[in-house]
Chain A
Amino acid sequence: MGRQVAIASAGFCEHAVRRSDVSMPEMVKEAIDDCLSKVPSVGIEDIDMFVNGNMPAFEGASIPELWMTDWMGARNKPLMRVTTGGTTGGTVAIAGYYSVAAGLPGVDTVLAVAFEQQSQGDTSVGLSSVALGELTAIQSIGMPLQKMKRLVSAGAAIGIAAYQATNYMRKSKITEEDLARVVVQNRRNAAKNWYTHLKMPNVTIEEVLDTPYISYPLRFGMVCPASDGCCAMLFTTEEKAKDMADIPVYVNGVASVANETGIMGYNAGGGGQLDPSEQLGAQRSAELAFDQAGISFPGKEIDYAEVYAPFPNQELMWVEKLGLFETNTAPEMYANGTTAANGEFPINTSGGVNSTNAIGASAMERPAEAALQIMGKAGNQVPKTVHTSLGHGWGGIINLITMMVMADEPKRKFK
């Protein structure tokens, strides 16, 4: 049951705070063109199925695939839309994987597209709507308005990240300087990558620490931007990928695991999450994906990782929780250059979500970048040869983790 899936190509469009020169479908077309330009033998007519997604409320269009059909070349082809908030890109990539892996008759080559044009919509309305219903319910049970207002500001992504940061900082005893160092590495890497948003070739730790707090312990300079952008990935079967690409990348493990919905949880319920930096979902999805890929020692076997970290404390947290580094050693690895582009274990050399965040697309840019590093076609290519890489995504209201583990050879068959 199931079959080996390969990535033949991946492409991006230019990301910026305001891509006012193109409409959403036109922006999607740019990324599809970039993706297909890397595989000259493939045309849009060779694609059997389309998978895509974005965060609809951020752009004011419900199910935008319906009207962008012709821009994507999806006329009279099967199309599936998946979306899960911040991890939309990751879930779209995973849906692309499953569309090929399932082996449905007539479906071999699948184009997965994730996009976001935040400048088109009212992101604040989109964000406030996330919890609007929950907050009305909480107000109806007697929460004073003054307190509610504070909950709103603490409940958005930054508030959640701040909760994670306080717990993580307590456990691993890091300073704000450690956080700023991560930001500096990301922004400097971004300057070498053609499509990224915040290109800061000369940024320093002092500059980052000089900006005001947004939510303690996160400062303005540490927070991801809001970008417009799109990412496309081409999934196909093992046999076809060998014809399409010089170095096909094989997808060996995927997972998307959700845990606790919200700290508040007055209505929905949950398992009870006390420590937001514990990340059961990340641990579980890492376990699932590595198990599928036959990886027993992620720290040794993986050569390159792209983790979804809008905030620097998350980058430190993820690399530990995903099993890449020993617990509480990540800050040290950033300080001694292990994670730099020319280091032993490069992380986020694309600049990461910290430099470019087109919400719906970001989680797909992680596996896309990780795949391009194996192919040797990445914007900021690492000097060492990458055999196995990892693309990770984070989103949902608190926790939905997507994982995609890739390698330059098909999965070892144990069974």
Chain B
Amino acid sequence: MSKKMEYDRKEYDVTRTMPGNWYLSSYKFRYSLDHLQPWFKKLKEKKLVGTQCRSCNTVFFPPRLVCGYCLVKPDLWVDVRETAQVATFNITYEKNPQTGEVVEKPVVCVRHDGTDTAFLAQLSPEINFRETYVGMPLKVKWRDEPEGNIGDLEYYEPLEDEAKDLRKEE
């Protein structure tokens, strides 16, 4: 099905090849997640919090280690609402290796109301993702029994967009 585009091609001789590998499994990647612990604790209580930089007032959600503008650690905890907006999105095409079937999946970045940063999230499976657009209002759907990790934000459900018709007229 995939149609190839032809181009003027020149072939070169093969002179030699050497096998090699990069053993990434022997690397240990180490991260400090201390700055996320209060966030996890609140997630378990179905509450959303973010950190605010005292210097520039940017609200980070999820909390980040460093404020890039000011090079300080944001350490002021603030409430974050459950409602959010689509900041940007794209649609990926996953090929099932067994059946060869291509599945379309949206990946969205959402920005919670009251925060200044976006993060990757999953949309409700009931949404027809072709209707996704930038600025679409959403609300968090919690996992039934939160465990205190990022999986507690199971997915995002759409809210009614009261300004949608106005936006189309523009």
Contacts and interface: CB of A to CB of B under 8 A. Distances in A.
Contacts of A137: 29, 31, 33
Contact of A270 (B5, B9, B117): B117
B105 to A, nearest CB: 6
B91 interface: yes
Nearest to B58: A272
B120 A133 contact: no
Nearest to A268: B65
Given A60-B20, A266-B62, A220 B90 contact: no
B36 interface: yes
Contacts of B89: 163, 166
B38 interface: no
A20 B12 contact: yes
B93 A269 contact: no
A230 B114 CA distance: 48
B8 A147 contact: no
B151 A154 contact: no
Nearest to A258: B68
B96 to A, nearest CB: 12
B90 A215 contact: yes
A44 interface: no
A18 B109 CA distance: 37
Contacts of B27: 133
Which of B31, B65, B105 has the most chain A CB atoms closer than 10 A to its own CB?
B31
Interface in B105-124: 105, 107, 109, 111, 115-120, 122
A274 interface: yes
A268 to B, nearest CB: 7
**Which label, helix, strand, loop or mixed, suits the secondary structure of the B interface?**
loop
Contacts of B68: 260-261, 269-271
A62 B22 CA distance: 11
Contacts of B33: 137, 140-141, 267
Contacts of B10: 14, 16
Nearest to A265: B64
Contacts of B66: 268-270
A360 B62 CA distance: 33
A189 to B, nearest CB: 13
A39 B104 CA distance: 53
A131 B139 CA distance: 28
A249 interface: no
Contacts of B22: 57, 60, 122, 125-126, 129
B24 A263 contact: no
Contacts of A154: 90, 92, 107, 120
6 contacts: A143-B150, A154-B92, A191-B8, A212-B93, A215-B93, A266-B64
Given A142-B149, A153-B92, A270-B64, 7 more contacts: A20-B14, A141-B33, A142-B150, A153-B94, A166-B90, A166-B134, A200-B7
Interface of B: 1-3, 5-10, 12-17, 20-22, 24, 27, 29, 31, 33, 36, 40, 58, 60, 62, 64-69, 87-94, 104-105, 107, 109, 111, 115-120, 122, 133-134, 147, 149-152
